[in-house]
């Protein structure tokens, strides 16, 4: 854990291993001790963590899980997950004993700031569980992103359709075309991601360019095991 400064504000920053253990520590005191006292000694944490990834992937802390499962692989292995501190927080008095302590000191938006090689990337993370057609998807983006935010962030939208739902790639193409045509706002990136039948993770950039990327699917428990073994 370390502190950095960006845009005249202080951020608290974690490695992916530290953040993963902190998330799991909400339910297991042994992981709290590992996270706070000896982050490099993760052998016991690995045994427990491998059984827990999927159980908590849809928890109320989904922004943090989404960052770990979907953002981490897009950056170098030494990237940090950072969070702005509230203005009244004194660094020398911060004590993070558990996830609740962490939630009390962080400020959002944005949900997560990735720090990598001297650069910061601010992300807002969203879940979409609505109808999978271009009208409803565009309406969601217009309401929750384009009209909602006054600042420009990177947006990752996690689709959570019903199991085995078939998605037409034409939906993303038409959504991309509507954003380009109707939005005059200076947006950063908008990326949609979803699990394709537990076989692949699909990333679709729908702004500023239309790009499709496929990555290997890993179960949540396998992903955590991979992270803690690094």
- pLDDT at position 49 is 52
CB of 29 within 8 A of CB of 97?
Answer: no
Asked whether the predicted pLDDT for residue 46 surpasses 60, the reply is no
**Could you tell me which residues come within 8 angstroms of residue 33 by beta carbon, excluding any fewer than 6 positions away?**
none
Residue ranges of domains in the chain: 2-228
Neighbours of 140 (CB within 10 A): 17
- Provide mean pLDDT across the span 25-29: 60
pLDDT beyond 50 at 53: no
**Over the chain, what is the mean pLDDT?**
81
pLDDT tier, 164 (very low <50, low <70, confident <90, very high otherwise): low
**Does pLDDT of 222 surpass 90?**
no
Is 173 exposed, middle or buried (CB count within 10 Å of its CB: 0-12, 13-18, 19+)? middle
Neighbours of 133 (CB within 10 A): 14
Residue at token pair 């109707």: 182
Percent of the chain topping pLDDT 90: 36
Please provide the DSSP assignment of 33-81 as one string.
Answer: HHHHH-TT--HHHHHHHTTTHHHHTTSTTHHHHHIIIIIGGGS-TT-EE
At residue 203 the predicted structure's pLDDT band, cuts being 50, 70 and 90, is very high
DSSP for 130-150, please give it: S--SHHHHHHHHIIIIITT-S
Which is more confidently placed, 198 or 142? 142
Does residue 211 carry a pLDDT above 90? Answer: yes
Judged against a pLDDT cut of 60, whether residue 36 lies above it is answered with: no
Is beta strand 119-128 parallel, antiparallel or unpaired with respect to 200-207?
unpaired
Sign for the CA dihedral angle at 147, 149, 152, 157 comes to: negative
Does the pLDDT of residue 89 top 50, yes or no?
yes
> Are the C-beta atoms of residues 215 and 204 closer than 8 Å to each other?
no
Calpha distance 107→39 (Å, rounded) = 24
């Amino acid at each position: 854990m370390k502190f950095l400064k960006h845009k005249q504000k202080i951020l608290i920053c974690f490695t992916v291993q530290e953040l993963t253990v902190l998330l799991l520590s909400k339910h297991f005191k042994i992981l709290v001790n590992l996270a706070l006292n000896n982050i490099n000694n993760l052998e016991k944490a690995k045994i427990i963590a491998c059984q827990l990834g999927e159980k908590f992937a849809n928890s109320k802390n989904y922004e943090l899980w989404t960052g770990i499962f979907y953002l981490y692989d897009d950056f170098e292995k030494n990237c940090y997950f950072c969070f702005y501190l509230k203005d009244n927080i004194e660094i020398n008095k911060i004590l993070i004993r558990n996830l609740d302590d962490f939630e009390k000191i962080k400020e959002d938006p944005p949900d997560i700031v990735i720090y990598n090689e001297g650069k910061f990337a601010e992300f807002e993370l969203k879940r979409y569980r609505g109808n999978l057609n271009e009208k409803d998807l565009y309406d969601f983006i217009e309401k929750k992103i384009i009209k909602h935010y006054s600042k420009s962030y990177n947006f990752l939208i996690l689709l959570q359709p019903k199991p085995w739902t078939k998605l037409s790639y034409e939906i993303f193409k038409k959504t991309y075309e509507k954003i380009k045509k109707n939005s005059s706002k200076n947006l950063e990136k908008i990326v949609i991601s979803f699990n394709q039948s537990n076989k692949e993770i699909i990333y679709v950039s729908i702004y500023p360019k239309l790009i499709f990327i496929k990555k290997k699917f890993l179960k949540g428990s396998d992903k955590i095991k991979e992270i803690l073994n690094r």
